[in-house]
């Protein structure tokens, strides 16, 4: 499946196959083992098993994630089928995340899906992880119909997707280095907050002053729609180095607030620019960073302003 920008910075098409339903969907691209059963746009079941073990390592360890997927994929699929009151012979197809993601983790899901599909001659649908973020907006109970723009921000990806049809999307802009979620997790680690860092950083930032320390808003003068978060991470590293021993603790909340504000500002400013360029009638959020409260509120304001203008 095509991803990224084509010659001259033109958006490249991303397409997926058509699903036949009811379908079993398997996801093992990172550290969550997931299975769902879908019937049309309706979710009959959705089972997620998160691997809490990675917290003690400060991030996802690919080999550990793969071993846990090997143990959990079977039980998670069985539970999803049980909750949906569907048996394997009832399935018309099996969809599985084919990438992007951790190679070892993806192989567990793909191997499981192949082993289930082959003896039953079921269609096997390799699915793009990023298209999954976009396609989630088509599901009940609150589906969004194209056209709309989708901001996807997660631990591994940050991009703006222009969605004009159900079968694919255009990448309008993407990160040139680090993803927003990766930057947040590393910032949380620098501030001693552990992993996963997003919820902890947001909680700490609520106690701080976002204007206490100045952090750069990358790509702010660039007329395009791409993102960059490596410089922001570096700015936090140097800011922490400037403190004497013990001073980081007393400034952690302000550092968290300033860092979070810089991430949100960059994401929202690029989203605003994209809306202004093409007048998208609706906005959607996808990826783990979409759970961030300040980001959600800022996007709601931007969407409301665009609708009223």
Task: Tell me which H or E stretch contains 72.
Answer: helix 62-84
List Cα–Cα distances, 155 to 113, 178, 184, 220, 234, in angstroms: 25, 9, 8, 22, 17
pLDDT at 14: 37
Listing DSSP states for 173-232 in one string gives EEBSS--HHHHHHHHHHHTT--SSHHHHHHHHHTTS-TTSS----TTTT-SS--B--HHH
pLDDT in tens, 71-128: 999 999 999 999 999 999 999 999 999 999 999 999 999 999 999 999 999 999 999 9
What pLDDT is recorded for position 237?
Answer: 96
Cα 185 to Cα 121: distance, rounded to the nearest angstrom: 42
Q: Which pLDDT score, from 0 to 100, does residue 13 have? A: 33
- Report residue 64: phi and psi, to 5°: -65, -45
Number of Cβ within 10 Å of residue 225's Cβ equals 20
pLDDT at 12 over 80: no
Residue 5 has pLDDT above 60, yes or no: no
Hey, which bits of the chain come out as E strands?
13-15, 23-27, 32-39, 42-50, 93-99, 124-128, 148-153, 158-165, 168-174, 283-286
Name the helix (H) or strand (E) containing 276. Answer: helix 247-278
Judge whether 162 and 169 are in contact, CB under 8 Å: yes
Provide the whole-model pTM. Answer: 0.87
What share of the chain in percent tops pLDDT 70? 93
Per the model's pLDDT, the better-predicted residue between 18 and 54 turns out to be: 54
The chain-wide mean pLDDT, for the chain, equals 90
Domains of the chain with bracketed CATH: 7-143 (3.30.420.40), 152-162+170-308 (3.30.420.40)
| Length reported for the chain | 309
Q: Which of 50-64, 122-136, 177-191 has the lowest mean pLDDT?
A: 50-64
Taking residues 281-290, report their average pLDDT: 95
Q: What is the pLDDT of residues 25-79, one digit of tens each?
A: 999 999 999 999 999 899 999 999 988 787 777 778 999 999 999 999 999 999 9
What pLDDT score was predicted for residue 21? 66
Q: If phi over 0 gives left and psi between -120 and 50 gives alpha, with beta otherwise, what is residue 131? A: alpha
Average confidence (pLDDT) over 230-257: 93
pLDDT tops 80 at residue 241: yes
- The pLDDT, as a whole number, for residue 2 is 33
Which residues, including other chains, have CB under 8 Å from residue 301's CB and lie 6 or more apart?
none
């Amino acid at each position: 499946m095509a991803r990224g920008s084509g010659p001259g910075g033109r958006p490249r098409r991303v397409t997926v196959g058509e699903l036949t339903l009811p379908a079993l969907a398997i996801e093992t691209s990172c550290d969550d083992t997931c299975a769902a059963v879908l019937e049309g746009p309706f979710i009959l079941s959705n089972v997620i098993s998160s691997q809490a073990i990675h917290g003690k390592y400060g991030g996802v360890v690919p080999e550990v994630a793969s071993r846990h997927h090997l143990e959990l994929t079977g039980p998670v699929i069985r539970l999803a089928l049980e909750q949906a009151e569907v048996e394997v012979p009832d399935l018309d197809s099996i969809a599985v995340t084919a990438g992007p993601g951790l190679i070892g983790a993806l192989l567990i899901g793909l191997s499981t899906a192949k082993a289930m599909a082959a003896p039953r001659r079921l269609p096997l649908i390799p699915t793009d992880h990023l298209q999954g973020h976009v396609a989630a907006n088509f599901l009940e109970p609150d589906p969004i119909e194209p056209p709309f723009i989708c901001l996807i921000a997660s631990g591994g990806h940050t991009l703006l997707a222009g969605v004009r049809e159900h079968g694919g999307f255009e990448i309008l802009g993407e990160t040139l280095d680090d993803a927003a979620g990766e930057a947040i997790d590393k910032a949380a680690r620098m501030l001693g907050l552990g992993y996963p860092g997003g919820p902890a950083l947001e909680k700490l930032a609520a106690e701080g002053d976002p204007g206490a320390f100045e952090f750069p808003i990358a790509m702010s003068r660039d007329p395009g729609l791409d993102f960059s978060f490596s410089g922001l991470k570096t700015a936090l590293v140097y800011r922490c180095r400037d403190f004497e021993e013990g001073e980081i603790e007393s400034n952690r909340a302000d550092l968290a607030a300033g860092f979070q504000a810089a991430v949100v500002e960059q994401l929202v400013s690029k989203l605003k620019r994209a809306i202004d360029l093409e007048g998208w009638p609706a906005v959607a959020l996808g990826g783990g960073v979409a759970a961030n409260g300040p980001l959600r509120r800022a996007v709601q304001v931007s969407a409301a302003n665009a609708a009223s203008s």
